[in-house]
């Protein structure tokens, strides 16, 4: 079941992170969640039909030297952990899939909140859509990423 306390989700993720910059980013995410009751409400929301997987794809801004793929992935891993997931999937380049406890609109709203506050997450475009489980494709990557 989903770790409904944010502390449980952050503790779960922090165990696997060695890099100080990622640990600091994780602390920032936690603080940003604590600062916004609307975001907390979305993250705690139960989906009547259960959690489901969503795919996220994005384009970073050209020439943006601040953007960090690893920090973007860490945001998705964090959202996945809060929803009770065990890590994100990257079936192909620029596509990530995570477990989510709300609608695609809620996921996009939460992501836009964090993108606005963190320069290393700035993207030009983002698309969120339901992700089929199991995924159907050719030469897809099936590894689970925890950080």
| Structure token digits, residue 2 | 């989903």
Query: pLDDT, tens digit, for every residue of 69-122?
Result: 899 999 999 999 999 888 999 999 889 999 998 899 999 999 999 999 998 998
- Domain chopping of the chain, boundaries: 6-132
3-state secondary structure of 73: helix
How much is the pLDDT for 95?
93
Query: pLDDT, tens digit, for every residue of 122-133?
Result: 899 999 999 998
| Structure token digits, residue 135 | 């995924």
106 contacts 55 by C-beta, under 8 angstroms: no
Whole-angstrom distance, CA of residue 38 vs CA of residue 110: 9
Whole-angstrom distance, CA of residue 19 vs CA of residue 39: 26
How much is the pLDDT for 74?
94
Higher pLDDT, 101 or 16: 101
3-state secondary structure of 60: strand
pTM attached to this predicted model: 0.89
Contacting residues for 55 by C-beta, under 8 A, at least 6 apart: 95, 96, 97, 128, 129, 130, 131
pLDDT band, very low/low/confident/very high, at 144 (cuts 50, 70, 90): confident
How much is the pLDDT for 2?
41
How much is the pLDDT for 141?
87
Residue 1 has pLDDT above 50, yes or no: no
Query: pLDDT, tens digit, for every residue of 42-76?
Result: 998 877 677 899 999 998 888 888 888 899 999 99
């Amino acid at each position: 079941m989903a770790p409904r306390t944010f502390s449980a989700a952050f503790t779960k993720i922090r165990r696997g992170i060695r890099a100080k910059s990622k640990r600091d980013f994780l602390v920032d995410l936690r603080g940003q969640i604590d600062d916004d009751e609307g975001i907390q409400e979305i993250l705690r929301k139960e989906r009547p039909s259960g959690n489901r997987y969503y795919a996220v794809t994005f384009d970073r801004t050209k020439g943006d030297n601040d953007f960090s793929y690893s920090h973007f992935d860490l945001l998705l891993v964090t959202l996945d952990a809060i929803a009770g997931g065990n890590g994100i999937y990257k079936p192909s380049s620029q596509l990530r899939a995570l477990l989510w406890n709300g609608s695609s609109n809620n996921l996009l709203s939460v992501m836009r909140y964090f993108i606005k506050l963190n320069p290393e997450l700035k993207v030009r475009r983002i698309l969120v859509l339901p992700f089929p489980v199991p995924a159907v494709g050719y030469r897809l990557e099936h590894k689970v990423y925890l950080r």
